[in-house]
Every structure is written in C-alpha cells, then in structure tokens.
Structure 1
Amino acid sequence: MTDAFIQFDKVSKSFGPITVVDDLDLSIGKGEFVSMLGPSGSGKTTLLMMLAGFEKPTSGEISVDAKRVDGLPPYKRNMGVVFQNYALFPHMTVAENVAFPLKMRGVSRSQIVERVKKALDMVQLGAFQGRKPIQLSGGQQQRVALARALVFEPEVVLMDEPLGALDKKLREQMQLDIRDIHRRLGLTIVFVTHDQTEALTMSDRIAIFNHGKIEQIGTPGQIYDSPRTQFVAEFIGETNLLTGKVQSAREGVLGVLLASGASIEVNAPLPATVGDEVKVSIRPERIDINSEATGGNRLKATVADIVYHGDHLQVRVQSQGKDLMIKAHRKSSPLNIGDEVVASFSPDHCWMVS
C-alpha cells in the first residue's frame, strides 16, 4: 500500500531473549479496518500495544500520517483504545466515564456535555448516562467503552479482543454495530482478535500473525479462498490438506498424484515443476457429494461419519485411506454411514500452499 496512514517499518519487540515481534512491516490506509488475527503469543497484541504507546519497540519505526509516534507517550497519539475488560471506572457514572478523556484534554464543560451525549447516542445508550457500570450488562459496558474511545474524535481506534467476553448473539450484534460505526465515521480501526469469523465479518483486510511475523495479509476473500501457506489454510476456517507429487504442468494447471494414489488437477498460483512435492488445500464446502456435474476432480469415497449442524451436515468420508471433511447441504440426497459416494471438486476450488 503506497498511501499508508499507519506504517510499521522493520519493527521488532523482544522481552529478554524472546522475540515477540520480528522485523515486521505493515501499512494501513486511512479509514481502513484491519484485523490482526493469530494464535496466542503470535505478536498481534504486542504490536497493538506498541502502536498505542503502552510498549516501546526494541527496534524499528512506527508512523501515523507520516509522523513518527514511537517516541510519544500514549496521551499524545490521539488514539482511542478499547480493551476486552472494558476498563471502566466503577465509581463513575456512564456519562462521567465517557467524559473522562475530554476532561484530561481540558475540553470546556459545555462541549463535554454535548460530545458525551453525541457519543452515547451513537452507541444507543443515551438514556443510561446516570447509571454506574455495575448496573449495565456486559454488552452495555462494552458500548460505554466504545463511546469513551470515540468521544474525543481520535484519528485511530485500537481494539484488543473487545468482544471476547460477550455471549455469541451479543458478540455478533456488536460486530455489526462496530462495522456500521466504522463506515459512518470513516474511522481507521486496528482490531486484534483470535476469532476467525469475527475477522472475516468485520475487516477490510486481515493480517495473519504467526511467531511474530505476518504470514499473509489480504481481504477476507483472499485470505479464505486463496491461502498462501498451510498455516493460513488451517488457521482460518476449515480445510482439507492433501499431499502429493506434481505429475504434469501446463498453462497454470498442475496434475498431482496424491499420496493416496489418486490423481487430481489443481490451479497453481505458486511455481512448481514435475516431481515437486506439493500440498493442496480444499475447503469443506467446496466439495460436492455425488454431484451429476461432469469434469473436475472425482474421488471415490466411503461415508465414515455424519454430524448434524442445523444449516448443513458435516460429513467425513474416507478416500483411499485419507479422511476428507465435507459440508453438505441439507437438501442433498440422504446419506448413511457406509455409503459409497463420489467426492468431487473443481481445480479452481483447490489451492496449492507452501
């Protein structure tokens, strides 16, 4: 990205002998919603804390709007921060909690009243100004924390697992609310999560972290449909991973002899030549069972297990000793354990990974 608003340039962070963020480059555009996704200990929260000013880089530079900020204290960075534990003051009312950043900045009383009301209306809590945090639900407390992060109109809003403590239904509603606020206000949001669905739902781009580095960054569609590495394919969503050897290569299509003995064709975004060992990723929903369509890859298989998931069936089949997980539509033909079936998928729907 050439017009970066937030720029990490060769940023590293070590705690003693342990390197948590390793020589990392990352550019984020103005108004962009970028999620940092990865397992615990992968460096995503540490990177966010360095951007917020709560941690200092061991090396490298961090810039916002072409100005270095890695030497500035947090209060001079004009960033709103929302944490998982809300971090509300229990002795203050909702209005006093939201007003706190404005008081610290010396904003006049009349402006504080006006801006607090606007911020609380934005998160649909205008009627709760006089309540204490203990009188609110978890979702309402999280909305107060969001209002407090937005009330001083920051350039950037940083969110560290902000929805992790909420139940599923409330978390999904808050995801939509935050996305709506992002679009309406044109905020630049950097969002840390370990929830793959959350990242796919909310983000313009997702950065997948692994051992202090970014394994892949791209749109949700790019990350999910075109994973570059085995780690990305297995970390976000579900996948079937097949191993084999290239038998033929022509016009961007590889013929692959699988370890199981079957042959398939794969579209090849990565360079490969005859004889190379390769790994192929196929999402469970990309595999059809007993499809009447001709062409593509077709593997004989036996149904080994069927699990009911409401909107779909999770079907495990065995093909020449290899398990494949399939998401089957409920309207497909009835299946029973032990049935002989054909699992089929297009070369366009399987992806070679490193």
Structure 2
Amino acid sequence: MAEFIKFDRITKFYGPLCVVENLDLSIAKGEFVSLLGPSGSGKTTLLMMLAGFEQATSGKILLDGAAINDVPTHKRDMGVVFQSYALFPHMTVGENIAFPLQMRGIDKAETAARVKQALDMVQLSTLADRRPSQLSGGQQQRVALARALVFEPRVVLMDEPLGALDKQLREQMQLDIRELHRRLGLTIVFVTHDQSEALTMSDRVAVFNKGKIEQIGTPRQVYDEPATRFVAEFIGETNLVEGVVEAIEGREATVRLPNGAQIVSAVSDGVAAGQGVYLSIRPERIDLAEARGAARNVLETEVTDSVYQGDHLRVQLQNEAYPLIAKLGRRSREFAPGTKVFAAFSAGDCRVIAP
C-alpha cells in the first residue's frame, strides 16, 4: 500500500531531553496503526506532532505527499479523540457533534443530516438531546468519537481514548472502533500502553521505547516474532532464558542453555553461531507432562506453584538453572508443588533474540 502519512527522520527535544529520536514511520491510507509503549516512550508526542499541537525539532511530517509541519492544526483535517472525552457540558449530545461542522461553516440542513448519520454510526440516535452528564463513560466516549468523525476527516487520531473505561466496556469499545474502521475505511493512528488493546484493534503495531520504534509489524508478528528483548517482555508475558547459539540451519538455531540442554528454535537474521542470545518462550506455548513424550524440545523441571486464574492455570516451574512459567488451559490437570514434569514446546513456539 502507498504511504499516506510519513514521518521522515523526526526528532523532538523538550529542552535538553530528546523524547523522539530520528524516527521514520509510514502509514497507508485506510490503515489502523497503534503506537504502543510505556509512559515516556514518545508515542503521544509523535501523535501530538501529527495533530499539530507540537512542533518537531527536526524532520518532516508528510500527509499524502505534502509536508504539513507548518500547517496549522485546524487546517490539517484530522479528527482527534482524547481519553478525557473533552465534551462541552453545556451542550447536548447533538450540539457537541455539530460543533466542528459549525466551525467549518456547514449549513444547518447538512449539519443536521451529518449529525444524525454520526449518531446512527455510534448507536446513540436516541440520546441526541441529553447532556454529557446524563451519559455513561462509554456513551460519552462514543459521542467524542462521533464528533471526531462527523466532518469526515482524512485521519482520525486517538490518544488512549479507552483508558478511563472499565474492562468490560473497554473491550466492547475496542470491537466497536475496529468495526467502524473496517466499515468506513478510516485511517486511524491510535496511542495506547495496553498491549491487548493494540493486538486486538490494529493492522500494524509500532512498539515504542525511549523515543524510538523497536519493532513495527502485524499483531501476530510483534507477538510471535519479537525482534528485541524489550518487545518480547513488553507485549504479553514470556520466559527469557540465556543461551549460546551452537549452530544455525536455515531459519532454525540450536541453542545450548546454562544447564546443558539443547533447544531448537526459530531464529531471525543477524544471529550468528557462537553468539550469546536470549530464548523467548511464551508461557501458553508450553505443555506439561510427567512422561517425557516425543516433542522436539523438552526441559526437565519441577512445579513450585500452581494458581487457578479463571481461564487458565498459571504454573511456576524451576530447574537447576532457570525458572519458567507455563499457562495451561483451565481444564488441564493441576500439578502439586514438588511434582517433576517435562516442559515441551516446538521450535516454532520459541524465538532466538539477540541481546
């Protein structure tokens, strides 16, 4: 897909502090891209520069091939949704949604038609005459979303818009926003620190750390094929075990662990034989049994604890060299502490990561 938004070597300083460093990122028209990272990683600053609320110290921001660094915020044709909703308390729902159209000089008849369409789109058509104080948090967020979409912006920017909602409502809003994106073909740039949120909603995820993008890819790529230790640990949960690469054959590497065990794992480019590496193994990819079995990779371990967590069993394991965590289906057998078990997983279920 052709690039629609382009960040070209963007750097941003606040005084002596560099918060975004020499960053490149391209986003296609109609794409949903999440900027994911911990607090202070630069993701919100990048969004604010795209919106025009902040200026880049150096580098260019392009929209559909044209530089917009010097274009005022109100002329960038972007809808913005914040976590705080930012609704006008003295206006009704309909008046809040109509506001950006009025600021653009749209006549009353077209404004009324667009407001009705926007209300239908977010399933709030019966609440047009209520004030924000009469709405739930989820309803207020839908109003904020409708207001951002009603003037048909070229890009929709969302800065942690679901952070104030409870878990159940947040998960429903994730699905609602994803459905709107697919139905309307919106270009969405979405800032979040919630890994599950990014994986659920996005076409691609850009993982931020200390002002840089550590990895960008599809949700499956950043979860199953983490490029760095930070990505492996930040997205989901993983077991990281140090080892040394003994051999590489095609896309697989043989890694010797501290206790002498050999593991065959998927490997990325840039890893060489003899190199010290981390082996990343997702807990849910590990099977446990008291018999060794025929799996390609098997580690002898002992159960130290087992906790029922509703949809899975979280099992803590230990051997003479390193701890492991396994997540088993809720109908799996529970192993008592002290039980000797074999932890088994395939080569495709673990990943070699360079330090």
Structure-2 separation of matches of 1:301 and 1:293:
14
Structure-2 separation of matches of 1:313 and 1:91:
50
Q: Is the 8 A contact 2:100 2:147 kept in 1?
A: yes
Letter of the 2:301 partner, please give it.
Answer: A
Structure-2 separation of matches of 1:328 and 1:129:
47
Q: Is the 8 A contact 1:43 1:211 kept in 2?
A: yes
1:173 to 2:172 alignment: yes
Q: Mean alpha-carbon deviation: is it higher for 313-322 or for 4-13?
A: 313-322
Q: Is the 8 A contact 2:308 2:330 kept in 1?
A: no
Q: CA deviation at 1:293?
A: 4.7
* Two-structure CA RMSD over aligned residues (Å): 1.2
Secondary structure, in 3 states, of the residue corresponding to 2:110? helix
Structure-1 separation of matches of 2:159 and 2:272:
43
Q: CA deviation at 1:309?
A: 1.1
1:281 to 2:289 alignment: no
Structure-1 separation of matches of 2:60 and 2:151:
26
1:17 to 2:16 alignment: yes
Structure-2 separation of matches of 1:82 and 1:321:
49
The C-alpha deviation readout for 1:262-316, integer Å capped at 9, x for no partner, is 2212222233333211111110011110177513111111001111111110101
The C-alpha deviation readout for 1:307-347, integer Å capped at 9, x for no partner, is 11111101011122311010112233331111110001111
Letter of the 1:278 partner, please give it.
Answer: V
Structure-2 separation of matches of 1:68 and 1:271:
35
Provide the TM-score with structure 1 as the length reference. Answer: 0.97
Number of positions where the alignment pairs a residue of Structure 1 with one of Structure 2: 353
1:299 to 2:324 alignment: no
Q: Is the 8 A contact 1:261 1:320 kept in 2?
A: no
Q: CA deviation at 1:89?
A: 0.7
Q: Is the 8 A contact 1:35 1:191 kept in 2?
A: yes
Q: Is the 8 A contact 1:37 1:194 kept in 2?
A: yes
Secondary structure, in 3 states, of the residue corresponding to 1:300? strand
1:159 to 2:158 alignment: yes
Letter of the 1:299 partner, please give it.
Answer: L
Change (3 A) 1:252 1:118: closer
2:75 alignment partner in structure 1: 76
Structure-2 separation of matches of 1:272 and 1:147:
48
Secondary structure, in 3 states, of the residue corresponding to 1:270? coil
Secondary structure, in 3 states, of the residue corresponding to 2:7? strand
1:315 alignment partner in structure 2: 315
Letter of the 1:22 partner, please give it.
Answer: E
Secondary structure, in 3 states, of the residue corresponding to 1:154? coil
> Percentage identity across aligned positions?
61
Q: CA deviation at 1:260?
A: 3.1
Matches within 5 A, 1:116-195: 116-195=115-194
Q: Is the 8 A contact 1:270 1:352 kept in 2?
A: no
Secondary structure, in 3 states, of the residue corresponding to 1:301? strand
Q: Mean alpha-carbon deviation: is it higher for 175-184 or for 321-330?
A: 321-330
**Could you list the runs of 5+ residues in structure 2 that have no partner in the other structure?**
none
Letter of the 1:30 partner, please give it.
Answer: K
Secondary structure, in 3 states, of the residue corresponding to 1:92? coil
Provide the TM-score with structure 2 as the length reference. Answer: 0.97
1:260 alignment partner in structure 2: 259
Structure-1 separation of matches of 2:273 and 2:25:
35
The C-alpha deviation readout for 1:22-58, integer Å capped at 9, x for no partner, is 0100000000000000000000000000000100110
Matches within 5 A, 1:339-350: 339-350=339-350
Secondary structure, in 3 states, of the residue corresponding to 2:100? helix
2:218 alignment partner in structure 1: 219
Secondary structure, in 3 states, of the residue corresponding to 2:304? strand
**Could you list the runs of 5+ residues in structure 1 that have no partner in the other structure?**
none
Q: Is the 8 A contact 1:34 1:206 kept in 2?
A: yes
Q: Is the 8 A contact 1:139 1:170 kept in 2?
A: yes
